[in-house]
């Protein structure tokens, strides 16, 4: 059902009708809040709280992610890297074997 707004234009179904007609059978309580298509034609006075809430929640997620990444980067600057190996595992094994044989001869 469409309504004619006081200005004479045709709007999408009213907010109350759209919310009440949403089915939640078997989908849980969150199904009615995940469909925000009724905000498309709604008055800006109705959509502003949704937009502000979405913006605020998105910003908080990005701020936490940025803070965590920045902390990890700063901590990584202070870590001392271990020295790289100068010989392969086979070479070290052969060297250890030679040292063991030299110790056994003494």
- Distance, in Å, from the CA atom of 68 to the CA atom of 70, rounded to the nearest integer, reads 5
Model pTM?
0.46
User: Residue 27 has which token pair?
Assistant: 């989908």
The predicted structure's pLDDT at residue 26: 52
CB 9 within 8 A of CB 41: no
Handedness of CA 25, 28, 33, 35 (dihedral sign): negative
- Distance, in Å, from the CA atom of 76 to the CA atom of 69, rounded to the nearest integer, reads 10
pLDDT along the chain (106 residues), means of 10: 52 63 54 70 84 92 97 94 87 91 82
β-strand partners of 11? 3
Task: State in Å, rounded, how far the first CA of the chain is from the last one.
Answer: 101
CB atoms within 10 A of CB 22: 14
């Amino acid at each position: 059902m469409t309504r004619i707004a006081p200005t004479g234009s045709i709007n999408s179904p009213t907010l109350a009708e759209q919310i009440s007609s949403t089915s939640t059978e078997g989908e849980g309580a969150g199904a009615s809040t995940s469909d925000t298509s009724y905000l498309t034609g709604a008055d800006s006075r109705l959509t502003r709280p949704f937009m502000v809430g979405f913006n605020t929640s998105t910003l908080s997620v990005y701020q936490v992610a940025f803070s965590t990444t920045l902390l990890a980067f700063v901590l990584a600057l202070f870590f001392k890297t271990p020295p790289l190996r100068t010989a392969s595992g086979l070479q070290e094994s052969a060297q250890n074997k030679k040292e063991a044989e030299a110790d056994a001869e003494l």
